[in-house]
Homo-oligomer: A and B are copies of this chain.
Amino acid sequence: MSDTAAVVNVAEKLAQFSELWSQKTVAALNDYEVKLAKVKGEFVWHTHDDTDELFLVVSGRLTIRLRDGDVVVGPGELYVVPRGVEHCPVADEETAILLVEPTGTLNTGSAGGPLTRAAEALD
């Protein structure tokens, strides 16, 4: 970070990509990062053993399946999945989300698999 770090316009950043389930880093906050993603369909059940994970829904609707019930997060709403809690994000419609979590947190957590992707910087 520097004094000249730019203002991040979330809508403009979202317009820069279309891939689903691919996290784009838009800002750093100490050793955390702010990421954007577009999601649709069902992801994989996974757990982050070492960190909570913040989801803020920008548009659309995100269902976070938990083993003991679903959490539905709409636009302007946020939810923190506690560390160690298995979850599976699902969206019926294309949904834009903002995530905050420690830098380097993988999207599939401890589950791994073909959907695993490191976050990419978005200019």
Contact = CB atoms under 8 A, between A and B. Distances in A.
Contacts of A34: 54, 78, 80
A82 interface: yes
A80 B1 contact: yes
A85 B5 CA distance: 12
Q: Give the copy number.
A: 2
A72 interface: yes
A117 to B, nearest CB: 22
Contact of A30 (B8, B51, B66, B71): B51
Interface in A1-53: 1-3, 5, 7-11, 26-30, 32, 34, 51-53
Given A2-B82, A7-B77, 15 more contacts: A1-B52, A1-B82, A3-B66, A3-B82, A3-B85, A5-B80, A7-B72, A7-B79, A8-B79, A10-B76, A27-B80, A29-B52, A29-B100, A30-B51, A30-B83
